[in-house]
Amino acid sequence: MDDVATTSIRNVVLVGHAGSGKTSLGEALLHRAGATSRLGRVDDGTSVLDAEPESVRRRSTLTLAIASMTWTVTDGQTCKINLIDTPGHEDFAQVVDAGLSVADLAVVVVSAVDGPQPGTERVWARCAELGLPRLVFVTKEDKPSADYDRIITQARDTYGAGVVALELPVGSQQSFHGVVDLLFDRSREYDADGLGRTVPVADDQVEEQRRRRDELVEEVVSGDDDQLERYLAGETLSAQDVQRTLAREVADGLVFPVLVGSAATGVGVDRLADFICELGPSPAQRPTTVLVGGRATPVPADPAGEPLVHVFRTMADQFVGQVSLLKVLSGTLRGDDKLVNTTTQSEERLHGLFFLRGKEHVPTTKVVAGDLGGVAKLAASPTRSLLALPGRPVSLAPLPAPAAGYTLAVRPLTQSDDDKLPEALRRLCAEDPGLVVNQDDEAGQTLVTAVGDTHLAVALERLERKFGVKVETEAVRVPYRETISAPVEVEGKVKKQSGGHGQFAVTQLRVSPAARGAGLEFVDSVVGGAIPRHYMPAVQRGVEDAMVSGGPRGHRLTDLRVECVDGKYHSVDSSDMAFRTAAALGVAQALRQGGSIVLEPVSAATITVPTASQGDVLADLATRRGRVVDTGGGGGGEEVIEAVVPTAELRRYAVDLRALTAGRGHYRAVHDHYEPVPENLLAQIGDPAGVGRA
């Protein structure tokens, strides 16, 4: 639809718990609209939306997919619907955020068997934060144990009275074959091919239909003073009037209609498409907010306006290179337009525009305001870039800092892999902002941090498939430290006189423990010129060299007080290097003589968990040698736990915490201080995994 109007576009994101049926519902919508010639199925790997090998192999959505379809409602209204399919697994929340950022309506998919689950709660809360309109689609109503009434009750209890049924099922479980439209007093029944026809409401459902319709109308008109007054006066409101009010309240996030159906049989799928067009807001109703000079400013989706484009997702394609998914916030984008990245000021040529249908690229000559499209080979515009005309100072609000994730070290298998690894990791992170790569020079490790273990496993599979780089993983080495056990006084001496210019330096050092967190306290107590003043900086550098080289157990030194009390020099043979070497030798001797204590890093952690899980989390912290500092209510049924925990015990905590809290818990941690390692754990320090849980 090259000539689609902004008012006819519906950007719809499918969200919900993993396994709720989002992708199957998207496939059913595409097939019912004629956008696909056959019904794609997740289980047999034929899904249009789940086309990546990692998703096919796991039978699970792991990335964001877009597919466009055209839908004509029974009253003749035609819409272009951009379906945005998202993962349900908690490891891919940032992918979901990318979909939410460009959607104008969220269809929250709930299984009629399982009901609202942790993933449903997460996306509902995130939609509420963003002010994104929602409707609920209860799918799998044809499955054994499906219970629509139970789901409605659970949803209202969880999300409030604004959740209202718009439909009733005709039949239940295996006999489910139609839906009752509560607003228009009619029923729609379906044949074995999923094709529906409108019929009168069956006699045995008339009474319930009228009761539920009254509940629906009361909820809708309560948000409109004029209609409420007319309703209370006994006036019968037309279905069209109530629907117009309902559409406005859906857009305002006041009412959340509930529909019912089955992606497998096709029952109710066409009615969902109708309601998306009739009740869903268009981009013209939802201006995007950007920052102009640091001030939040709405940008209307005006096709005649100045062009502004949001790059919301980038993907590496083996054949065309980088593919950028974009939403036109304002103006009309045409092939070969030149725009400027508002952050880097790099000029980009948008050549070869296309719409998406899963992995298929459908060429187009233009993309109007509010529509979603794609373009290849943008050189300098990663995810969350804005493209505009030169001189337009606009930006997007920064995302909140991510919670602590799951980190492993990666090591290339071959020299060829080693050569390609840095660029491959850079491109992988550009495609997936949920990944963070750091180089730990102290440990000599390349660290990759993901949201969780599944996220990291999928990322490394893509690293090999897309960029041809094979790696193996290992545990992150914990940065242990050593300090001296008891004060000692030692002599560091360098004497080399074998003809010609020699090397001579003597330092008398008093080495003792310093306060925790002090690092190095260097004191110059030399008097009488035993060591000339201009050599003292070299003595201090030698002490610093020794601290980096480490103590008897091989860990870097910290919390030392080193006092240079005396020394000797030679007017010809002494040098900076001689005194630097002598000081380093003296510190090493002091550690051997005085003994050392191994210190481990301790993190300050802020852990947010559901109230019901607090006891389990506190008990688990005790097994991790954690000390709880404070607890308090975080609001919304959550508790916040402040604790200090050995860093080694947190290496898998992002994964373990989700298991303890059914996916609802998260935490942040920062380095706080060092503490001595307990004697009973010292033997584990030599293990590559170190103390704690690898």
34-51: per-residue pLDDT in tens?
A: 999 999 998 888 999 998
Residue 423 lies in a domain: yes
Tell me the C-alpha distance between 73 and 280, whole Å: 13
- 8 Å CB contact between 543 and 523: no
Q: Do residues 316 and 453 both lie within one domain?
A: no
What pLDDT score does 161 carry?
Answer: 85
Mean pLDDT, residues 427-456 taken together? 91
| 3-state SS, residue 402 | coil
Asked if the model's pLDDT at residue 687 lies above 60, the reply is no
Closest by CA to 383, choosing from 307, 435, 423, is: 435
Last residue of a domain, one of 531, 564, 594: 594
Per-residue tokens: 249: 């309240």
Q: Do residues 175 and 303 both lie within one domain?
A: no
- 8 Å CB contact between 468 and 545: no
Instruction: Using pLDDT thresholds of 50, 70 and 90, give the confidence band for residue 690.
Output: low
Mean pLDDT of the chain: 92
**Predicted confidence (pLDDT) per residue in 579-635, tens digit:** 999 999 999 999 999 999 999 999 999 999 999 999 999 999 999 999 999 999 877
What pLDDT score does 275 carry?
Answer: 95
Residue 692 lies in a domain: no
With a CB cutoff of 8 Å and minimum separation 6, the contacts of 75 are none
Mean pLDDT, residues 378-387 taken together? 89
Q: Which long-range CB contacts under 8 A does 389-395 form with residues at least 24 apart?
A: 389/306, 389/307, 389/339, 389/340, 390/340, 392/306, 392/308, 392/340, 392/342, 393/292, 393/293, 393/342, 394/290, 394/291, 394/292, 394/297, 394/308, 394/342, 395/290, 395/291, 395/342, 395/343
* Residue linked to tokens 């233009």: 366
Domain at 553, CATH number: 3.30.230.10
Last residue of a domain, one of 569, 594, 619: 594
User: What separation, in Å, do the N-terminal and C-terminal C-alpha atoms of the chain show?
Assistant: 52
Q: Do residues 165 and 249 both lie within one domain?
A: yes
Mean pLDDT, residues 145-161 taken together? 93
Asked if the model's pLDDT at residue 325 lies above 90, the reply is yes
Q: Do residues 375 and 305 both lie within one domain?
A: yes
Residue 536 lies in a domain: yes
Tell me the C-alpha distance between 144 and 177, whole Å: 14
Instruction: Using pLDDT thresholds of 50, 70 and 90, give the confidence band for residue 1.
Output: low
Closest by CA to 206, choosing from 171, 176, 239, 182, is: 182
Mean pLDDT, residues 40-67 taken together? 91
> What ranges in 21-117 are assigned the alpha helix state H?
22-32, 53-58, 93-102
Q: Do residues 495 and 633 both lie within one domain?
A: no
What pLDDT score does 232 carry?
Answer: 84
Q: Do residues 503 and 556 both lie within one domain?
A: yes
Domain of 214, in residue numbers: 6-285
Residue 400 lies in a domain: no
Q: Do residues 118 and 241 both lie within one domain?
A: yes
**Predicted confidence (pLDDT) per residue in 219-266, tens digit:** 898 888 888 888 888 888 889 999 999 999 999 999 999 999 999 999
Q: Do residues 125 and 161 both lie within one domain?
A: yes
Q: Do residues 376 and 460 both lie within one domain?
A: no
Instruction: Using pLDDT thresholds of 50, 70 and 90, give the confidence band for residue 380.
Output: confident
Element (H, E) at 311: strand 308-317
**Predicted confidence (pLDDT) per residue in 477-526, tens digit:** 999 999 999 999 999 999 987 666 789 999 999 999 999 999 999 999 99
What pLDDT score does 136 carry?
Answer: 97
Tell me the C-alpha distance between 43 and 23, whole Å: 11
Residue 643 lies in a domain: yes
Instruction: Using pLDDT thresholds of 50, 70 and 90, give the confidence band for residue 686.
Output: low
Q: Which residues pair with 646 in a beta bridge?
A: 602
Per-residue tokens: 29: 């919508």
The Cβ of residue 500 has, within 10 Å, a number of other Cβ atoms equal to 6
- 8 Å CB contact between 166 and 216: yes
What pLDDT score does 228 carry?
Answer: 85
With a CB cutoff of 8 Å and minimum separation 6, the contacts of 278 are 73, 77, 243, 247
Asked if the model's pLDDT at residue 188 lies above 80, the reply is yes
Mean pLDDT, residues 111-121 taken together? 93
Mean pLDDT, residues 407-419 taken together? 96
Q: Do residues 194 and 310 both lie within one domain?
A: no
Instruction: Using pLDDT thresholds of 50, 70 and 90, give the confidence band for residue 186.
Output: very high
Element (H, E) at 332: strand 332-334
- 8 Å CB contact between 292 and 388: no
Domain at 611, CATH number: 3.30.70.240
Residue 161 lies in a domain: yes
Domain at 437, CATH number: 3.30.70.870
Asked if the model's pLDDT at residue 322 lies above 90, the reply is no
Provide the number of structural domains found in the chain: 5
Q: Do residues 82 and 154 both lie within one domain?
A: yes
| 3-state SS, residue 543 | helix
Residue 559 lies in a domain: yes
The amino acid at residue 398 is P
CB neighbour class for 136 (10 Å; exposed up to 12, middle 13-18, buried from 19): buried
Domain at 326, CATH number: 2.40.30.10
358 vs 472, higher pLDDT: 472
Domain at 135, CATH number: 3.40.50.300
What pLDDT score does 544 carry?
Answer: 97
Closest by CA to 288, choosing from 167, 182, 403, 386, is: 386
| 3-state SS, residue 458 | helix
DSSP state letter for 67? E
3 vs 246, higher pLDDT: 246
Residue 35 lies in a domain: yes
Asked if the model's pLDDT at residue 689 lies above 70, the reply is no
Last residue of a domain, one of 561, 594, 627: 594
Q: Do residues 362 and 467 both lie within one domain?
A: no
What pLDDT score does 404 carry?
Answer: 76
